[in-house]
Chain A
Amino acid sequence: MIATSEPTLATSDGHLMRNPAPGPEVPLAVRGLTVSYGEKPAVFSVDATFQPATMTAIIGPNGAGKSTLLKAALGIVPRLAGEASVFGQPVSEARDRIAYVPQRASVDWDFPTTVLDVVLMGRFRRVGLLGRLTGAHTDQARACLDRVGMTDFADRQIGQLSGGQQQRVFLARALAQDADLYLLDEPFAGVDAATERAIIDVLSDLKARGKAVVCVHHDLSTVRDYFDHVFMINVRRIAEGPVATTFTPEMLNATYGGRLAATQLDQLALASA
């Protein structure tokens, strides 16, 4: 049932091979990660390291491979080359320590299931094929719903939710996975302001408890407010590091090419002052 066939194809980029293997304290590290549909790479030879007790935004223009980077690291899309490790282990060995929130638009919201059942899906892997979902699981799922402010909606059909509520349910499902590494794909896309704040509160709490949080993020104006680290990608890795030192007009220019207007850059730079 394990999805990933771990490709051992060593990349030929010499510098990658000299990095020592990441230790068990590193929540997520990828090396030489390359994903390609056809011959045009979506992600090319990317190295990245994400640290515990941090919140990292993955930013970059459309089609820069932000989501693909996460999906390839988890084995959701096949890697052409490169490796990923979670807490020093291959991803397939560390699934229980990973929680993943896909893009909201990627699922069928008319699916016959309730909010509570979606949250319980976060426990399927550990419960196994024939294990019973007990009252304890239900209580835990309700507690997760409570953390995202969705307790009253537990028995609703998921199709009746607004976009922001759907995103909260997805976050609750990730909380139910009780992981140490949280990977979220555009959690703030198309949600209302209150949901955005609720999500940030939950993620900040995770960070405070030493978890690593990584979000694919598209809203540059909130990077400084929400995140402490940033990973900039445009097919290749452009930069990574603390927001204070890395989220600079020069780096943004390098990431987005000429696509960011000068005024936009000025505003972002002002925010840093």
Chain B
Amino acid sequence: MAGGWRPRNWINSRSQAPDLVSPFLEALFLGAGYNAALVAIGAALLGFSAGASGTFLFLRKRALVSDAVAHATLPGVGLAFMAMVWAGGDGRNLVGLLAGSALSAWLGLLVVEWMVRRTRLSEDTAIGAVLSVFFGVGVVLLTIIQTMSTGRQAGLEDFLLGATAGMLFQDAVVIAVGGALAVCATFILRRPMTLVAFDPEFAAANGYDVRRIDLAMMALVLAVTVIGLKLVGLVLIVAMLIIPPVTARFWTEESDKVVWYAGVLGGVAGYVGAAISASAPALPTGPIIVLVSATLFGLSLFFAPARGVAAALIRHRRFQRRVHRRQGLLALARGESILEPYTIRVLSAEGLVRPDGVATDDGRAIAAKIARDERRWDIVREVHQDAGLTGRYDGLTPIEEVFTADEIAEFDRLIGAPRPVGGSA
């Protein structure tokens, strides 16, 4: 791991004096030293498990519960440290600290859940209360610990924002094992969690215990939070749980795929973020990972094919264009003049009207066809009262796409002799 493959020649051939790229590439290919490699792998594993197990929380629309859980870990860290020091052990034993943080996070979670279930308080209120109170208690405990004469308290504050400098092989193993378990549990529970997130009443009617599945969902998130505490810190872990699923949602309409896409996006963000932070001395790992993740989110937000902002804008413009085209042509068919400049632009771009709004021969022909289709659709609505077909009438779908030539001929027969367009006669 430490040696790794180093694309030295390639990097050297490209890099000149103020070189920002080659340290990054070295880190990216695990060539920036043992610690950097450990951090990059750990961050990738953490990112994958956080993204995958955070997905159902996001789909359940309870993303912020993870923030309460994360902040509620802090008193546990402090108390575990104190307990271990008083017991005569090493206050910084990682397993002990993580166990303590898990216990207090679980308590915080139960308090949130209890407040929502037993009082009239809404979940956001409960989250705000638990988050701030637990965090406050944690800060008080850390302050007390600073004044203690025993124990090596230095480094506890790393649980707030994370630290990678002293990352040990043991830490990476904790992340790998814990993360793998969390991903497995997510996979096993995917059907109940899908049901509960989509349709909790149906889940309950099927005999699923919605409360327990919710708690299991939270427990997964809690587990990932705890194993990620040391690397990214409790303040930012929520970003690793939430941003990847939100990003993944832009790319798929299937919940199972959201899970895996979120895992991959989280893993990539973790790995690339760790590599960037390793490439310069003063770049903090956790925040950089979050920024990489946010970049992926931003790109998806704008450029995702179906759900992205750009795609939506293009669809909207296209639709507007078709509406204007149809209305302009109907106006031509009725012999009315077109007043709206945009409509004239749309039609003249196709050569259907002259720039002054007067119809060309092509324009008159198509206008006649559009007007005829309108009357055909009138017939359709009389004949077929099934919304499955008439629901597709929007005046924009060509009638040939919905009905066969024979059916259209039948409509034409029903229309009968030509009558004045506009129905005023």
Residues of chain A having any CB pair with chain B under 8 Å? 1-4, 71, 74-76, 92, 95, 98, 100, 102, 106-108, 111-114, 117-118, 121, 124-125, 127, 129-130, 149, 157, 162, 164, 173, 183, 192-195
A2, A98, A100, A113: the one within 8 Å of B255 (CB) = A113
Query: How many angstroms between the C-alpha atoms of A136 and B254 in the bound complex?
Result: 20
A89 to chain B, nearest CB (A): 13
Q: Does B35 lie at the interface of the complex (its beta carbon under 8 Å from any beta carbon of A)?
A: no
Cβ of B254 and Cβ of A129 under 8 Å apart? no
5 contacts between A and B (CB under 8 A): A2-B209, A75-B205, A117-B254, A125-B206, A192-B391
What is the CB-to-nearest-CB distance from A212 to chain B, in angstroms, rounded to a whole number? 15
Residue interface bits B186-214, CB-to-A below 8 A is 1, else 0: 00110110110111011011111110110
CA distance A111 to B199 in the complex (A): 10
Q: Tell me whether B419 is interfacial, beta carbon within 8 Å.
A: no
A252 to B188: give the CA distance in the assembly, Å.
Answer: 50
Residues of the B chain whose Cβ atoms lie less than 8 Å from the Cβ of A76: 201, 204-205
Chain A residues with Cβ below 8 Å from B388 are 149, 194
| CB pair A121 B194 closer than 8 Å | yes
Q: Is the CB of A2 within 8 A of B258?
A: no
CB–CB B204/A112 < 8 A: no
Known: A113-B194, A192-B387, A193-B385. A1 touches B209 (CB 8 A): yes
Contact A92 B254 (CB under 8 A): no
Residues in A whose Cβ lies below 8 Å from that of B387: 162, 164, 192-195
- Whether A124 contacts B201 by the Cβ 8 Å rule is no
A173 to B207, CA, bound (A): 16
* Cβ-defined contact, A114 with B205, below 8 A: no
A114, A124, A149, A183 interface centre (most CB from chain B within 10 Å):
A124
CA–CA, A238 and B333, complex, Å: 62
Give the distance in Å from the alpha carbon of A108 to the alpha carbon of B194 in the complex.
12
Say which residue of A71, A92, A107, A113 sits within 8 Å of B253 (CB atoms): A113
Distance (Å) between the CB of A163 and the closest chain B CB?
10
Cβ contacts under 8 Å, B189 to chain A: 129
When C-beta atoms are compared, the residue in chain A nearest to B55 turns out to be A112
Q: How far is the CA of A164 from the CA of B24 in the complex (A)?
A: 55
**In the docked arrangement, what's the CA distance between A194 and B388, Å?**
8
The residue on A at minimum CB distance from B306 is A157
Complex partner residue of B199 from A1, A92, A121, A192, CB under 8 angstroms: A121
The answer for the CA separation of A75 and B386 in the assembled complex, in Å, is: 37
Question: Which residues of chain B are within 8 angstroms of A100 by Cβ–Cβ distance?
Answer: 201-202, 205-206
> Which of chain A's residues have a CB closer than 8 A to the CB of B199?
102, 106-107, 121
The reply to whether B207 and A113 form a contact with Cβ atoms under 8 Å apart is no
| Known A-B contacts A112-B249, A162-B387, A194-B385; A3 and B195 likewise in contact (beta carbons under 8 Å) | no
Contact with A along B235-267 (1 / 0, CB 8 A): 000000000000001001111011000000000
Report whether A3 and B209 are in contact in the complex, using a CB–CB cutoff of 8 Å: yes
> Which residues of the partner chain A approach B207 to less than 8 Å between Cβ atoms?
1-4, 92, 95, 125
B413 at the interface (CB under 8 A from A): no
Q: Please, which residue of chain B has its CB at the minimum distance from the CB of A156?
A: B253
**Chain A, residue nearest B199 (CB):** A107
Chain B hits for A195, CB < 8 A: 387
Interface membership of chain B positions 166-203, coded 1 if the CB is closer than 8 angstroms to chain A and 0 otherwise: 00000000000000000000001101101101110110
B311 interface contact, C-beta 8 A: no
- In the assembly, what is the distance between CA of A246 and CA of B198, in Å? 38
Chain B residue numbers with a CB within 8 Å of A74 are 204-205
Chain A nearest CB from B299 CB (Å) reads 19
Contact B252 A112 (CB under 8 A): yes
Over the window 386-399 of chain B, the binary record of Cβ atoms lying under 8 Å from chain A Cβ atoms (1 yes, 0 no) is 11100100000000
Known contacts A125-B206, A157-B253; 16 additional CB pairs below 8 A are A1-B208, A1-B212, A1-B213, A76-B205, A92-B207, A102-B199, A102-B201, A102-B205, A112-B59, A113-B254, A113-B255, A124-B191, A125-B208, A129-B192, A162-B387, A195-B387
CB distance from A34 to the nearest CB of B (A): 19
Which 6 residue pairs spanning A and B have beta carbons closest together?
A100-B205, A95-B207, A76-B204, A102-B201, A192-B387, A157-B253
Q: Which chain B residue shows the least CB distance to A131?
A: B191
Residues of B within 8 Å of A149, CB to CB, are 388
C-alpha gap A157/B207 in the complex (Å): 26
Nearest B residue to A94, CB-CB: B207
Residues of A within 8 A of B201 (CB): 71, 76, 100, 102, 106-107
* B14 at the binding interface (Cβ < 8 Å): no
Contact B198 A121 (CB under 8 A): yes
A130 to B189, CA, bound (A): 9
Tell me the bound Cα distance from A164 to B391 in angstroms: 11
- CB contacts (< 8 Å) of B205 on chain A: these are 74-76, 95, 98, 100, 102, 183
Q: Which residues of B contact A162 (CB under 8 A)?
A: 387, 391
